[in-house]
Chains A and B, each alone.
Chain A
Amino acid sequence: MKAYLADLSDLSFVGDISANMANEIDGKVVGIPYTMEGFGLVYNKSLIDASKVNNYDTFVQMLKNQKAAGINGFSLSQESYFLIGHILNTPFALQADAQDYINKLVAGEVTMQDTPEFVEFGKFMEAIRENTSNPLEVNYDTETGDFATGKNASIHQGNWCYGMFADYDVNFEMGMMPLPISGNDKIAASVPTCWYVNSQAKPEEIQAGKDFLNWLYTSETGKKYLMEEFGFIPVLTTMTSPKLDPLSQAVSEYAAAGKTISWPMSKWPAGIVDVYLVPIAQEFFTTDMTGTEFLTKLSDAFVQAGK
């Protein structure tokens, strides 16, 4: 990829990009962040008291309480990242050095089944399989729709899903809280995508690309679109957003408090989620394999995909 990315360090607003948000290669800024997105447990405030769900035991207790009340306590959905990609991100992000851990995992030097945060993740997945509806029978629309109508107490989603609730009369307040694997109290937030300029284009095209980005991030019209029309969370210190939806609001509050974990999933071997992880998750949710067997298969998949 590197060969295709133009150096964007000379754009006027680059100095204003919030810390760790720009995509830098060899000290040069090559990607301008689009927005910030965060995911965790999107929950119904009238059904769940977030302060009481902060570790494995309380999470399972919550699932059981909801089940007893005839409500599905937690939901994933069948699409690749919503099934396994995002939720598996958390134990990776809890490692001291996630990149180093991925390298070792791919090389076969460490395994998930021997790493405490993953073992706990395995227990979470077992509890989810036991106490909630099968995610393979649920798609994104059902997951968010059932949440909006109060049939799901919580879903593993990000602030992007707020747009799905526009079609419903949501009559409760919602918030976002961390997935409490190993007592995790942080939300996974990062930049989902960046603006890049193709270094292989003609010089005047490269210039036009840069001019567009300058216009988008510095002109009144450009900023108005990013903040008000798109509802993006600001990525430049000079921008403020007057009207964030409740979920984006939660993400930006966690970010302001420094309570975020990263997205190591973007460093996983290419294509691994759809081709390797989804089939394993499907097997997990259709059989009674244990969390340990599940982790063993996931570890093997990283070795396979990283070849």
Chain B
Amino acid sequence: MKKRRDLGWYALFVLPLVFIFTTVVIIPFIIGIGYSFISWDGMPLNEKTFVGFENYTRLFADARFLTSAGHTVLFTIFSVLLINVLGLSFALAVTGKLRVRNAARTMLFMPYLIGGLILGYIWKFIFTDVFKSIGEMTGLTKVFFSWLLNPRYALVAMIIVATWQMAGYIMIIYINGIQAMPEDILEASKVDGANFWQTLLRIKFPLIMPSFTICLFLTLSNCFKIFDVNFSLTGGGPNNATEMMAMNIYNEIFSLSNYGYGQAKAIMFFIAVAIITLIQVSITKKKEVEM
């Protein structure tokens, strides 16, 4: 009797999610795999031609797609590093003895509450108009110029904005990990005479390994899939220097109306992101310690 009631509760919470997940993720995903084998412009009445694996073979010769993959990898490496280093440092700072820690937490988390599109537009103004004015006023035109007009600096700008947005969110997860650390172990290490770095590297890091797993997974997949900031901050420019994979796929499908080919790109993209994040999760999972 008790078991059946549990099952009822279980269903109440899980079934709506399963329903939504199935209708907006699983089913479109399966249909999408089907689309990736046809050539079609997206108009229901227009002809769909079956082309087999041609869409897939084609994308390995698509220089622009491969370049955008390169940008994405570069962007992801730097962003993931920066977001996690900053997120963890913030977390350590605001769990310490800092007097303004509550205010700091709120402020650091705030950027995450602003949507990526709006963030992009705000920073676009900063990187172009504000930077230019600062350069003119101070004469430091080597540093303060319109960053978004320079291919390399535009990518740096993307990394800065993505970091600024995500670091606060990642900080929250690290804070949880840090606060869940058993006080007695920390105290024991103190009694044994461990200094700050020893405590951090030998005691704290292994204990918050589950947070690392989650944070790395979130940042990796989010950075690979970045679209909104890309769209509003640089639009892929200048001269495609910041066109990420998601934007390349978006352009292929919604600007050039190549639904089949764009879908094939999306499937490959999914496979790549899935493989990379799965490897990451399996590696960091192994390093987690049991208490």
Contact = CB atoms under 8 A, between A and B. Distances in A.
A288 interface: no
A3 B256 contact: no
Contacts of A192: none
Given A1-B43, A200-B45, A275 B255 contact: yes
A3 B255 contact: no
B238 A271 contact: no
B46 interface: yes
Interface string B159-170: 000000000000
B237 A282 contact: yes
Contact of B238 (A4, A270, A282): A282
B210 interface: no
Interface in A262-307: 270-271, 274-275, 278-280, 282-283, 286, 305
B255 A286 contact: no
Contacts of B239: 279-280, 282-283, 286
Interface string A214-246: 000000000000000000000000000000000
A286 B235 CA distance: 16
Contacts of B43: 1, 3-4
Interface in A191-218: 200
Q: Which size bracket describes the interface of B in this complex? A: 10 to 19
A305 B255 CA distance: 11
Contact of A286 (B150, B236, B257): B150
A134 interface: yes
Contacts of A134: 149
A279 B45 contact: no
Contacts, number: 48
A167 interface: no
A268 to B, nearest CB: 12
A49 interface: no
* B contacts with A: majority SS: loop
Interface in A119-160: 134, 136-137
Contacts of B237: 136, 278-279, 282
Interface residues of A, number: 18
Given A286-B149, A286-B150, A279 B256 contact: no
A275 B64 CA distance: 11
Contacts of B255: 270-271, 274-275
Interface in B229-260: 235-240, 251, 255-257
A279 B240 contact: yes
A7 B251 CA distance: 32
B79 interface: no
Interface in A1-19: 1, 3-4
B128 A137 contact: yes
Contacts of A278: 235, 237
B238 A275 contact: no
Contacts of B240: 279
A141 to B, nearest CB: 11
Given A274-B251, A275-B255, A283 B146 contact: no
A136 B251 contact: no
B256 A275 contact: yes
B256 A271 contact: yes
Contacts of A275: 251, 255-256
Contacts of A286: 149-151, 238-239
Contacts of B128: 137
A99 to B, nearest CB: 20
Nearest to B239: A283
Give me the 6 closest cross-chain CB pairs, A-B, nearest first. Answer: A271-B255, A283-B239, A282-B238, A3-B45, A271-B256, A279-B240
13 contacts: A1-B43, A3-B43, A134-B149, A136-B237, A137-B146, A270-B256, A270-B257, A271-B255, A274-B251, A279-B236, A279-B237, A280-B239, A282-B149
Interface of B: 43, 45-46, 128, 132, 146, 149-151, 235-240, 251, 255-257
Given A275-B256, A278-B237, A280-B239, 5 more contacts: A4-B45, A136-B146, A137-B149, A271-B251, A282-B238
